[in-house]
Structures are given as C-alpha cells and as structure tokens.
Amino acid sequence: QVQLVESGGGLVQAGGSLRLSCTASGSIFSIETMGWYRQAPGKQRELVAAITSGGDTNYADSVKGRFTISRDNAKNTVYLQMNSLKPEDTAVYYCNADHVSRWYRRTTYWGQGTQVTVSS
C-alpha cells in the first residue's frame, strides 16, 4: 500500500499564491506519473497538472502560465506552485500517483484532498 499526504491548501485572495505538496510513503517500488486534480462543488474532478518520473509535464489549459508542477523523486514528493490565483481555482485539490510494483502491477493512489479557497 502507498499513502499520499497533501499539505499547503488554504484561503488566499485573488492574485495570490499557494504551494501544495504531496508526499508518498509506504511500500513504494516505483512511482511513474504523479499529478494534481481538483474538484469544485457540483463539478467533476478534473486534471490540473501531471508530471512523469522523467519530468515531462502536462497542464490543463485553464492553469497554463500560472501553475507549475515539479517533483522530487528522491523524496517521492510532488509540488504544485499556484500563482495568480483566481476565484474559479477554488476547489478541493487531490494528489494522485501511478505506482508500479516489482511484479509490474500498476495501481493508482489518491490523497485525501486539500481545500484551496480563493476570495475575490
């Protein structure tokens, strides 16, 4: 089992910044893609950004140029730097990790979520 623990959410004014962190622990063999998703009230969960173990990144169009995803493979930690925040960024943000076991079994794990609220 792999556990993901997020931190860094909170309340910020529009135009402000927050940095989210997510650390994986437990029986880790290899983590491939790690990512951040978000879910606003009444909406479906959506991809915000993802990063492979090699550093390739992917962003939702709505956050390009404002958010930056990064990763420390040695610490099994992924970060999301969020700048120029807008009220529409308000959501619960979830960390996600694709783990591959020594027997090549692939499992996706999720964190518990952290609330980000952007006031206008």
For 39-55, what is the mean pLDDT?
96
Structure confidence at residue 43 (pLDDT)? 96
Structure confidence at residue 68 (pLDDT)? 98
- pLDDT tens-digit readout, 58-97: 999 999 999 999 999 999 999 999 999 999 999 999 999 9
Give the integer Cα–Cα distance in Å for 90 and 9.
10
Structure confidence at residue 76 (pLDDT)? 95
Structure confidence at residue 93 (pLDDT)? 98
Cβ–Cβ under 8 Å, residues 113 and 120: no
DSSP label at residue 84:
S
pLDDT bin (cut points 50, 70, 90) of residue 41 is very high
Instruction: Show the CA angle centred on residue 108, arms to residues 105 and 109, nearest 5°.
Output: 125
Mean pLDDT of the chain: 96
Burial class (CB in 10 A: 0-12, 13-18, 19+), 109: middle
Give the integer Cα–Cα distance in Å for 76 and 89.
25
